[in-house]
Amino acid sequence: MRENARVTSDSRGDYQELVDEISELLGAPATLENRDFELIAFGAYDGEGDLDPSALDPVRTRSILTRRSTAAIRTWFEGFGITRATGPVRIPPTPEAGVYRGRICLPVRHRGVVLGYVWLLDDDDPGPAVPQLDAAMEVASRIGALLADEAQAGADLTRELREVLTAERGWQRDMAVAALRTALGPRGDGPHAVVCVAPWPSADPDDAPSARTVPHATALCTVPWGAAGQQSLAVLVRLRTTDVRTPAASAAARVLGSARGASATARVPGNAPGSGASAAAQVPADGRGPEASAESRRVTDGRAAGASAAAQSPAGGREAGAGGTSQPSADGRAMGAGAASRPSADGRSPGASGTPRPPAAGRTPPPGATPVAGIGAPRTGLTDLGVAWQEATAACRAGLAEPRFGTVVEWAAIGPYRLLAALPPEAAHDPVVAPLLSPAHHELARTAEVYLDRAGQAGRTAAELGIHRQTLYYRLSRVEQLTGLDLDDGEDRLLLHMTLKSHRL
């Protein structure tokens, strides 16, 4: 705790002062990025020539406006050996790469570990003198110490964060929040978001990534998940404002990549192929720069995730329809000519597969389940950190239950699951609906859920399920027989719909 308490200054302000000092020493505007090429601070442009549109550097402009660089740009610059350098590195202008103006890169190191880079435009010949560069490297070493202190503070906050998230409401949680606030200092008063990733593939806390490897992470820790000894990973993410949630999504994507890598050696989302350490020293073989090759390096995880979600949609797995003579359903609601032949006892059409789909996942994800990240609503300060964690876990549970939400799910986007996730576990076991939830009646339960999701519109439901209306009406009558509910009654529909959705959680 004492180690954490000493990091109480506004780090961002300190970085800006140090960057301005380097700009003054070398007579050129400087920018500071962390080792992931995410912008931390930048100096002002003083000369009108620097603002001439014809001389603007697309790579530098993009870095300042978006506060980060692409993986292709990172790989291109790392090809000049900046990850191994201990002194200034000169990079020549390469217009075809979008680098109109030369660069001087000052590696920011602490105890031999590269933590970031200071960049300066290098248009003059011969450029800054050796004494000037030596003085700038001394300032860079002070930046490295500050970055190391900040990273160490985040690493040391594992225990404090876990105590906040696992404490009972009341004075226990208040005490835990106070301890975390003391450790963070003024940083604890800023805007934050909480991310929950579950199921986390390892029960060993040492397998969790370091906070310094997750963009925008202030602290992280593992937290028990479910009743089967599984774990989740909690990440406290710093934001610039509560209106901009991009840092939380970036942190979620990075941690999801770590989770997949631990279980299936998958790449981290957002890192282009070849952007790791093994490829860092290679400049593109075709000589093209980062802008030219960015498209070929773009990862398409989002599309794959969308396709996967569609394939697992509750409405997927349509049954084959059948033609034949109309037969009345059990409750007399049969349609006329052109309806299906007589349904089987469980309501499946004769042309349908005889093997029902497995039931939806319960509260504890099955072993090997694909991890999902939930993000709670952003907040300023730490007072409501426990509530934010509940929101993040609810969003995560909704994502595990409904693949249509994707793998990164925000609390604001889960609709009725915001309410359902707050209900006690036994709410999913209403005695009236319980018979419908047995594996033998899974197809009937799915039919009822789709019917209620479609606001009771028979045509849309039958089309979604790929069955004839007669088959749909037969199944709905079986649902009423099993539960004793009247699907023409609003309250009965509400009870059935809530129970079916809660059962997914």
CA distances from 37 to 59, 240, 282, 386 (A): 12, 18, 17, 32
How many Cα atoms are found within 13 Å in the side-chain-facing hemisphere of 217? 29
What is the arithmetic mean of pLDDT over 352-378? 61
Q: Kindly tell me if the per-residue pLDDT of 21 is higher than 70.
A: yes
pLDDT score, position 46:
55
Residue 52 buriedness (CB in 10 A; 0-12 / 13-18 / 19+): exposed
* Torsion angles phi and psi, residue 94, rounded to 5: -140, 85
Q: Tokens standing for 261?
A: 């890598």
pLDDT score, position 378:
95
How many Å from the N-terminal Cα to the C-terminal Cα in the chain?
38
User: What is the band of 364 on the pLDDT scale with cuts at 50, 70, 90?
Assistant: low
Would you give the DSSP letter of residue 134?
Answer: H
d(CA 505, CA 501): 7
pLDDT digits (tens, 9 = 90+) for 397-412: 999 988 889 999 999 9
pLDDT score, position 141:
93
What angle (nearest 5°) sits at the alpha carbon of residue 364, between those of residues 359 and 367? 85
Among residues 12, 39, 16, the alpha carbon closest in space to that of 190 is found at: 12
Q: Kindly tell me if the per-residue pLDDT of 167 is higher than 80.
A: yes
pLDDT, averaged across the chain: 74
pLDDT score, position 321:
35
pLDDT score, position 155:
55
Signed CA dihedral, 462, 465, 471, 472: sign only? negative
Which residues are within 8 A (CB) of 112 and not within 5 positions of it... i.e. 6 or more apart?
A: none
pLDDT digits (tens, 9 = 90+) for 75-103: 888 999 999 999 999 988 888 777 778 88
* Cβ neighbours around 377 below 10 Å, total: 17
Comparing 378 with 296, the larger pLDDT belongs to 378
pLDDT digits (tens, 9 = 90+) for 297-341: 322 333 333 333 333 333 333 333 333 333 333 333 333 333 333
Comparing 234 with 113, the larger pLDDT belongs to 234
User: What is the band of 284 on the pLDDT scale with cuts at 50, 70, 90?
Assistant: very low
* Torsion angles phi and psi, residue 187, rounded to 5: -65, -25
Supply the pTM of this predicted model.
0.53
- Residue 297: its H or E element: helix 290-297
Q: Kindly tell me if the per-residue pLDDT of 455 is higher than 70.
A: yes
